[in-house]
Structure 1
Amino acid sequence: MMTNTEPLLSVRDLAMSFPGRRRSAPVRAVDSVTFHVAQGETLGLVGESGCGKSTTGRTIVRLLEPTAGSVTYDGRDISHLSQRALKPLRKELQMVFQDPHSSLNPRQTVARIVSDPLLVQGSSAADGRKRAAELMELVGLIPEHIDRYPHEFSGGQAQRIGIARALATGPRLVVADEPVSALDVSVQAQIVNLMERLQRELGLAYLFIAHDLSVVKRVCDRVAVMYLGRIVEIGAKEEVYAAPAHPYTRALLSAVPLPDPAAERSRERITLLGDPPSPAAPPPGCTFHPRCPKAQEICRMEAPALRNTAPGPARQVACHFPETA
């Protein structure tokens, strides 16, 4: 997996807000998010639905214009580049979406869908069609099926087409937004295996957005946990899963089923109180404090910074009272 420690992507204090309804306060979907992804690395971005994972991914590839902060790709700040300036960089930054059928144009053939990114970059139709056939074979589909339409493929096959489209321009970084959550479990394993093989063969870096912690554990090198628009914990996969330091991370991991029935029955299950607050009206201080079993007065008054903490030199946690053992 990870082959280089130099950041290919650096995200610093990224924020993305949306206007509120009528005169209500803006919705701060992403709030001061900071992380990096190295060449050949897979960083998992996890959290509950609505925590800002997908918005973060879309802002990184500039499908959304960030409200604040910076996105640096390969040493260049792309946060506010014009669409014209972004065009040559889009070859190296691609995205795979959650629902394969809704992300593929039903009126276009697979040949056109997969070759479209190449046509935008100036390739001829003949070269695009040839490349589409090559990519179909690369992702495990029959090249002769490039003249079919998306509805003629299963969900897993359609996701392979989505991956082929993302690979058309030879990217270095792929943002995968819940790429297997809409698929059956058996098909999920096939897509995960495909993505791992493509990473080895092509040297890809992934930002892997998901809520399934079992899949993230299988795929990722490092894990970043989001809650209400902020990263509350980030570190190496082995460290985070073995000894989660943030109460929210501990609660998430306690909900992951264990393959051993005896261990599953005997372990502690952490149940969080209430529902996540609205990002339009987040609580003061630590946004997790209304649901946190360890919350104290300082948690209600002061938002904790994401800072290094044991165990692990690269482990960061945003908590006033993190677990350190």
Structure 2
Amino acid sequence: MTQDDAPGPGPSRPGPEPLLSVRDLSMTFPGGRGRSARPVRAVDRVDFDVARGETLGLVGESGCGKSTTGRMIVRLLEPTGGSVTYDGRDISHLSQRELRPLRREIQMVFQDPHSSLNPRQTVARIISDPLLVQGSTATDARRRTTELMELVGLIPEHIDRYPHEFSGGQAQRIGIARALATSPRLIVADEPVSALDVSVQAQIVNLMDRLQRELSLAYLFIAHDLSVVKRVCDRVAVMYLGRIVEIGPKERVYTAPAHPYTRSLLSAVPLPDPVGERTRERITLLGDPPSPASPPPGCTFHPRCPKAQQLCRTEAPELRAPAPGEARQVACHFPEAA
């Protein structure tokens, strides 16, 4: 997909209708007990699209709201605000009965492969369960499970083994096979390689890339490792404290980041060139991220931003193109020049 073809997050862009459209998506959790408890705004008015066959990377620090966003999209959580539109249909508040047919088309791969697999069930049962729920016969489900085992690089003869008999990489392949069982069009991958060894990460990333080409899948790829995101994604959305602060084609975001937070994240990614690693600029942020239960006024990044000015402390920036014709958008009053 080229830069010109890549969809932006705005609601009025030209081109074909996206497969997934998220508008003003918000999630507020109730606070704890006591008078001083405050609600936690985990996700705050998030906008983005995912085109058919595209991979959008969603990156940011732990606790920024990435996984919560993914869980709302697959409706493991119901949004408290905004909308999730899949293939032209608003699915934000559908009942479980109404969602059942859509479960075929939207699936999720979880971060920890072993904790997401039932240790008391065989691989055959784990992978075939979605098919049985959707009405397949036991014979058809087992045949499809064998096909999926081969597709993700597992030995079909191991179909009756239990999850503890597999390595972490093999267990994640089982999770991917389960997600593929109903032939989905969109997969939300919530940090699918972060719990794996580096060598195994490469295998899983290559597997997902191959499956996308063969099956025309769209991915929302949630991660905190920017080197992995650069390898697999067409576009990148950077999240900070529940909001998207920069989104656009990965070439623009990686080579000329416009938001100070994006620049700081990229400066922490190790370079393979020792000379470049020693001489490049490192951006060290001050302090810790604010609490989502008590976010700062104005731009939520201003307490840690080296470029913050008075305007940043009083007015929250809108997500907009930093220059006419730009294919990306940035939520910053003083974005970096390209």
Instruction: Give the TM-score normalised by the residue count of structure 1.
Output: 0.98
Paired position in structure 2 for 1:170: 183
- Aligned partner of 1:129 in structure 2 is 142
Would you say 1:253 and 2:266 are equivalent positions?
yes
1:44-193 to 2 correspondences below 5 Å:
44-193=57-206
Which letter does structure 1 place at the counterpart of 2:65? G
- Residue 303 of structure 1 is aligned with which of 287, 292, 316? 316
Distance 1:257 1:246 in 2: 20
Q: Shift in Å at residue 310 of structure 1?
A: 3.0
Q: Structure 2 residue aligned with 1:15, among 13, 26, 32?
A: 26
Residue type of the partner of 1:179?
Answer: P
Say if 1:311 and 1:181 are closer, same or farther in 2 by CA, change over 3 A: farther
Instruction: Indicate the residue corresponding to 2:55 in structure 1.
Output: 42
Q: Secondary structure at the match of 1:135?
A: helix
Inter-partner Cα distance in structure 2 for 1:59 and 1:267: 38
Deviation at 1:312, TM superposition (A): 5.7
Q: Residues of 2 paired with 1:156 and 1:301: CA distance?
A: 47
Matches of 1:251 and 1:53 in 2, distance apart?
A: 18
CA contact (8 A) 1:239 1:311 kept: no
Distance in 2, Cα, partners of 1:97 & 1:141: 19
> Residue 247 and residue 129 in structure 1: after superposition, are their counterparts in 2 closer, same or farther (change >3 A)?
same
Letter of the aligned partner of 2:188 in structure 1? V
Q: Distance in 1 between matches of 2:230 and 2:323?
A: 21
Percent identity (aligned) = 86
**How many residue pairs get matched?**
325
1:96-148 deviation per Cα after TM superposition (whole angstroms, max 9, x unaligned): 00000000000000000000001111111111111111100000000111100
Letter of the structure 2 residue corresponding to residue 89 of structure 1: L
Q: 1:100 is matched by which residue type in structure 2?
A: P
Cα distance in 1 for partners of 2:71, 2:82 equals 14
User: 2:9 maps to which residue?
Assistant: none
* CA-CA distance at 1:6 after TM superposition: 3.5
Amino acid across the alignment from 1:40: G
Matched residue of 1:198: which SS? helix
CA distance in 2 between counterparts of 1:133 and 1:143 reads 5
Distance in structure 2 (CA, Å) of the matches to 1:86 and 1:198: 25
Alpha-carbon shift at residue 311 of structure 1 (Å) = 7.9
> Who is 1:313 aligned against?
326
Q: 2:285 aligns with which of 252, 272, 276?
A: 272
Residues 239 and 312, structure 1, Cα contact 8 Å, conserved in 2: no
Are the aligned partners of 2:117 and 2:126 in contact in 1 as well (CA < 8 Å)? yes
C-alpha distance in 2 between matches for 1:120 and 1:308? 45
Q: Give the whole-Å Cα distance in 2 for the aligned partners of 1:311 and 1:272.
A: 30
1:187 & 1:68 partners in 2: Cα distance?
A: 38
Contact 2:17/2:88 (8 A) holds in 1: no
Match of 2:44 in 1: 31
1:314 is displaced (CA, Å) by 2.1
- For 2:98, the aligned partner's letter is A
1:6 paired with 2:17, answer yes
SS at 2:252's partner residue? helix
| Match of residue 231 from structure 2 | 218
Separation in structure 2 between the aligned mates of residue 249 and residue 72 of structure 1, nearest angstrom: 27
The residue identity in structure 2 corresponding to 1:118 is L
Whole-angstrom CA distance in 2 between matches of 1:131 and 1:108: 17
CA distance in structure 2 between the partners assigned to 1:302 and 1:117 by the alignment: 47
Counterpart code for 1:143: P
Q: Is the 8 A contact 2:108 2:188 kept in 1?
A: yes
The separation in 2 between residues aligned to 1:6 and 1:60, in whole angstroms, is 17
User: Do the aligned partners of residues 161 and 312 (structure 1) sit closer, same or farther apart at CA in structure 2, a change above 3 Å counting?
Assistant: farther
Q: Taking structure 2 as the reference length, what is the TM-score of the superposition?
A: 0.94
Task: Give the aligned residue type for 2:239.
Answer: M
Structure 1 residue 324, shift from structure 2 partner:
2.0
Native 8 Å contact 1:114 1:168 kept in 2: yes
